[in-house]
Amino acid sequence: MSYATKNFKNVMASIAGLVVVAAIGVWQFYAYVTFKDASGLTNADGGGMHLLLAIVMAVFACFIGFLVFSVFLRHDSDDDLHITFAPVANHLSSKAKLQ
């Protein structure tokens, strides 16, 4: 059973957080594109802070996405198959010492 299956609630909460951060980034980019100056005209130069926030949110969303989707690649220690070797016979180990 994988980690994502065991912790379904945590994975879904993380994906919801990823969607929220991405939506904030899109909203800030929209605010940058439609920024208006005092006279009501569209002015892209004045909304630099919105662009900076949109870039930061996009980078943050990519980082969260990497962490969330790396959960699906996580190795589950419960699925390990432990194989042990049979003990070596004493007469074989004594011959190796003589040579």
Q: How far apart are CA 24 and CA 12, in angstroms?
A: 18
Question: What is residue 26's predicted lDDT score, i.e. its pLDDT?
Answer: 95
List the chain pLDDT tens, one digit each, 99 residues. Answer: 556 666 778 878 888 999 999 999 999 999 888 887 777 777 767 688 888 999 999 999 999 888 888 877 766 666 666 677 766 666 655 555 555
Q: Any long-range contacts for 44-51 (C-beta under 8 Å, 24+ apart)?
A: none
